[in-house]
């Protein structure tokens, strides 16, 4: 029986493990602590700090490696991928970790992005703000998520303050885009090179955190364009696994915002809303199985449960609602679960 | 967070645990050995032989108890139910364990059964065979499953041989019924007394083992009748949890064959074929949550994988098929997994 090693043990690792178990695939999750939520459904290998001896023992137990976050220390990923196949590969991970590389990749594939400048000094930041105009958003190139590591610059007065806060990291200044919608495309490429794409999903963020996704967003031309973009990125990177690209819709056109080399929060609706969930799809893709159908089973709306869970009995009394509790301790701003409502087409 | 203790750790406990985890409910499975398949997705409490000290430590860790088989030692169930709520209750379990009690219960509720005689001696067996006529089926009253503990008597010559084989157990002789179909009804009753029923399922057995189930079997009058039967049994037993009743269809009429106080193999299609799976429904029922919708999502056919798993890639390349591998070691006659094909209505 194949064992997939997952670098991480949060809710994405949890849902990957659940899908894997049904397919007869074992998982082992590399966790920083024993209380990480994937431990509820799969064995953990707890390694609190960087420890190559423990890494060695972890990798010896698995056949193929994957990840649930792009914020994996590159040392760890490099160590692992020297020993077992890492899906997606190191290049895909390295590009996704860095907003600068990501933008360069998008542009090299002819995919529109927001105007941007890489920024390594206060002077460069001032120049970039002048070139791009304000408002603009200053972001760390690496290790940002859920709106962390981002500051909006509205006036020139904000520049020095933002630099003082973030300037110790490599930065990128992105021109502010007034967008009509936020969309994401989730797709998969298997070890055999087969590809499959879900329909576009529309997303809503608050304070940088995803609060709601709705699918399918049906617009044939945008769908075809988004798939073309993802196809070219997957081929360029020899990508294997599920990939997500987030887009802004600006004056009717897709502008790539960022990509995530993994299953994605905006794809949680696929658990009940599509023939094959993104989690099963990822396990199929990286274990050399045929990809599953991405056909939708209705209209899905997914709500994230942030900071606290809603009343369980109330949700469970709704006939079209599906309740997902990750079993995590409540904390403000933390994703604790999600609710998907699937209504028949 | 609620913890459900499951007496058993096979595939039913595995699928119950998977459903529970998504609802934010923990499970702990009482296992006879560390390699039982539920251990892939939930923690096990391994107790190889009857050991009240170990039972005590198990029951101390859980809030509510349930079971995945009616073949639980009654001592164990009694011990447990004296300490924490057991759902279904001890009476429901005791009746389901014994084909004699079961038949008596069916008859007391006005539910047709095959003609039968309880048999405790060779003379009683001879008399019963004369009364009921041959062919007839001699069964152990307790601890039979998957066709085990049953011998068909075709001629009087079979009587002594069958007695010699099974006579050390309490027995029941059942008149042979020529049936048109095998059907089952799966329903649930919650701690609040709410009830919900799935549509009837048609089933096919080979050598006493379920090989295929198909749902929904749509026949409004039979559905109403079967639900009435289950409702009266649930109320009579103050039953809580999922219950299955197997029927023969004989000359267009339902004849109750047996009941199972648990999630049931003939309900596995509900995982993808109904809004709420029987596993989630059971967890909802016993943890005091509202019951979920039993609406079907298509036409489902479930095939058991017995003795060996089919080619995984071949199954996964079928767009309407769902592959379930319990991760058990292959052995002739052993249920290793199931495949459900759901086609849209």
% of chain A at pLDDT higher than 70: 99
Tens of pLDDT, residue by residue over A78-116, are 999 999 999 999 999 999 999 999 999 999 999 999 999
Question: Which of the two residues, B345 and A341, has the higher pLDDT score?
Answer: A341
Read off the pLDDT of residues A136-179 as tens digits, 9 standing for 90 and up. 999 999 887 666 789 999 999 999 999 999 999 999 999 998 99
Contact B312 A26 (CB under 8 A): no
Low-confidence ranges of chain B (pLDDT < 70): 145-147
Contacts A14 to B, Cβ<8 Å:
21
Closest approach of chain A CAs to the CA of B71, in angstroms? Answer: 25
Q: How far apart are CA B71 and CA B31, in angstroms?
A: 14
pLDDT for A145: 67
> How would you class A49 by CB atoms within 10 Å of its CB: exposed for 0-12, middle for 13-18, buried for 19 or more?
exposed
Q: What angle do CA A269, A325, B30 make, to 5 degrees?
A: 120
Q: Which residues of B touch A309 (CB under 8 A)?
A: 24
Distance between start and end Cα atoms, chain B: 38
> Across the A/B interface, how many CB contacts are shorter than 8 Å?
85
Residue A202 has pLDDT above 90, yes or no: yes
pLDDT digit string, tens, across residues A290-332: 999 999 999 999 999 999 999 999 999 999 999 999 999 999 9
* Interface membership of A144 toward B (CB under 8 Å): no
Q: How confident is the model at residue A66 (pLDDT cuts 50, 70, 90)?
A: very high
Mean pLDDT of A235-263: 97
For residues B76 and B54, is the Cβ–Cβ distance under 8 A? no
Residues in A touching B1 (Cβ below 8 Å)? 327
Residues 16-35 of A with CB under 8 A from B: 17-18, 21-24, 26
Residue B311 in tokens: 């080619």
Q: What angle do CA B147, B324, A44 make, to 5 degrees?
A: 120
In degrees, rounded to 5, the angle at the alpha carbon of residue B281 between the alpha carbons of residues B70 and B190 is: 80
pTM for this model (two decimals) = 0.94
Statement: residue A345 has pLDDT above 80: no
Nearest-angstrom CA–CA distance, A23 and A142? 34
- Find residues 28-87 of chain B whose CB sits inside 8 Å of chain A: 40-42
C-alpha B246/C-alpha A330 separation (Å) is: 44
State whether residue B335 sits within 8 Å of chain A by CB. Answer: no
At what angle are helices B220-237 and B90-97 packed, to 10 degrees? Answer: 120
Count of positions (residues) in chain B: 345
At residue B145, the pLDDT reads 67
Contact B312, B318 (CB under 8 A): no
> With an 8 Å Cβ cutoff, is A320 touching chain B?
yes
């Amino acid at each position: 029986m194949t064992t997939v090693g997952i670098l991480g043990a949060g809710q994405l690792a949890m849902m990957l493990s659940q899908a894997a178990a049904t397919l007869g695939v074992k998982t082992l999750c590399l966790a920083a602590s024993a209380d990480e939520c994937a431990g509820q459904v799969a064995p953990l290998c707890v390694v609190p700090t960087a420890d190559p001896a423990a890494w060695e023992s972890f990798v010896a137990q698995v056949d193929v490696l994957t990840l649930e976050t792009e914020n994996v220390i590159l040392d760890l990923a490099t160590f692992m991928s020297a020993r077992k196949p890492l899906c997606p590969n190191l290049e895909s991970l390295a590009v996704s970790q860095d907003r600068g590389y990501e933008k360069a990749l998008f542009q090299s594939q002819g995919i529109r992005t927001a105007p941007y400048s890489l920024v390594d000094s206060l002077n460069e930041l001032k120049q970039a703000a002048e070139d791009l105009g304000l408002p603009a958003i200053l972001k760390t190139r690496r290790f940002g998520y859920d709106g962390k590591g981002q500051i909006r610059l509205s006036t020139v007065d904000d520049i020095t303050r933002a630099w003082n806060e973030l300037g110790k990291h490599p930065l990128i200044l992105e021109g502010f885009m007034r967008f009509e919608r936020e969309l994401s495309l989730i797709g998969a490429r298997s070890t055999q090179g087969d590809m499959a794409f879900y329909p576009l999903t529309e997303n809503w963020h608050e304070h940088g955190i995803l609060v709601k996704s709705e699918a399918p967003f049906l617009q044939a031309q945008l769908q075809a364009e988004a798939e073309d973009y993802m196809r070219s990125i997957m081929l360029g990177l020899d990508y294997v696994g599920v990939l997500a690209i987030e887009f802004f819709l600006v004056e009717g056109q897709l502008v790539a915002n960022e990509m995530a080399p993994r299953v994605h929060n905006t794809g949680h609706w696929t658990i009940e809303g599509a023939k094959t969930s993104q989690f099963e799809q990822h396990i199929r893709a990286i274990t050399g199985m045929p990809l599953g159908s991405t056909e939708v089973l209705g209209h899905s709306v997914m709500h994230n449960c942030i900071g606290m869970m809603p009343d369980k009995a109330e949700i469970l009394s709704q006939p079209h609602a599906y309740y997902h509790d990750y079993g995590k301790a409540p904390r403000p701003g933390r994703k604790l679960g999600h609710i998907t409502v699937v209504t028949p087409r």
